A and B are shown apart, each in its own frame.
Chain A
Amino acid sequence: DGGITQSPKYLFRKEGQNVTLSCEQNLNHDAMYWYRQDPGQGLRLIYYSQIVNDFQKGDIAEGYSVSREKKESFPLTVTSAQKNPTAFYLCASTYRRAPLNTGELFFGEGSRLTVL
C-alpha cells in the first residue's frame, strides 16, 4: 500500500542530544514537508523540499536540519540548539506537477518527541 511512513512513533531524548526523525513515502510525490504541532497552536512549517537535493526553511527552522538525497526520503534532525523540542512532528508530501497538483498534502502518522 502506498503511503507515508514516519518512525519512530515515540522518541525520548536527553537534553543536549541530536535526534533524527525518519519520513519515507512511496507515493512518488515530488514535494515533502515537516510540520510541528504544539497544543493550541495548530501546525507550523519547519522545512520543505520541492525537489531532490533542494530544501527551504519554513516558519520555525531554527534548531532543525533536513536533507533530501532521495525523492522518497526527507529526514528531520532535531539538534541540541532547538530550545523546546518536545512536540508532535508530522511529515507530509504532495505532487507538484499537473494534473495531480491539487495542493492537497498527505500526512504520515506522526512522531512524538519528548525531551527528558
Chain B
Amino acid sequence: AQTVTQSQPEMSVQEAETVTLSCTYDTSESDYYLFWYKQPPSRQMILVIRQEAYKQQNATENRFSVNFQKAAKSFSLKISDSQLGDAAMYFCAYSDAGGTSYGKLTFGQGTILTVHP
C-alpha cells in the first residue's frame, strides 16, 4: 500500500519570507499524481498544486512551487513571499494515475504552517 509521510508537524515563517514543507511517499507504481492541499481554519480543503509523475518539470503555481524527486520519492512544497493568508494545515497526497485506484488519495498527516507578521 502507498504511504505518505510528512515529517514536520509544525513550521513557521515570517511574512514575505520563504518556507519549504517536506513530503516523502512510497509506491511501486510508475505513473501517479502528487498533490499539496491547504486546509485553512474554515476546514475547506483547497488544492494548492498538482504534479504528474511522468513529467520531469516541477509544477509551479504563482508563489507555490514543488521540488519533485522521483527516484528519492520526495515531493516538497516551497512557498515564496509568504502571506498571512497562507497560514493553514498543509497536506501532501498521493494518487495512482488510473485503474480502480483512480481518485483514491492517500494523505500525509499534515503540517501546520504559522505565518508571523
Are A and B bound to each other? yes
Contacting chain B: which of A39-47, A60-68, A69-77?
A: A39-47
Cβ-neighbour of A42 out of B33, B102, B104, B107 (below 8 A): B107
A25 to B30, CA, bound (A): 32
Contact A33 B104, beta carbon cutoff 8 Å: yes
A110 to B44, CA, bound (A): 7
A77 to B41, CA, bound (A): 26
Contact A50 B50, beta carbon cutoff 8 Å: no
Interface residues on A, range: 20 to 34
A90 to B44, CA, bound (A): 9
A32-64 to B contact mask, C-beta < 8 Å, 1/0: 010100001111110010100000101000000
Contact A42 B91, beta carbon cutoff 8 Å: yes
Closest to A40 in B: B109
Assuming A90-B45, A109-B43, A110-B43, is B104 touching A45 (CB within 8 A)? yes
Assuming A104-B35, A110-B44, is B103 touching A48 (CB within 8 A)? yes
Assuming A90-B45, A103-B97, is B104 touching A48 (CB within 8 A)? yes
A96 to B100, CA, bound (A): 10
A110 to B107, CA, bound (A): 17
Q: Give chain A residues whose Cβ lies under 8 Å from the Cβ of B91.
A: 42-43
Q: Give chain B residues whose Cβ lies under 8 Å from the Cβ of A17.
A: none
Q: Give chain B residues whose Cβ lies under 8 Å from the Cβ of A33.
A: 103-105
Q: List 5 A-B contacts (CB under 8 A).
A: A42-B4, A43-B107, A45-B106, A102-B33, A103-B102
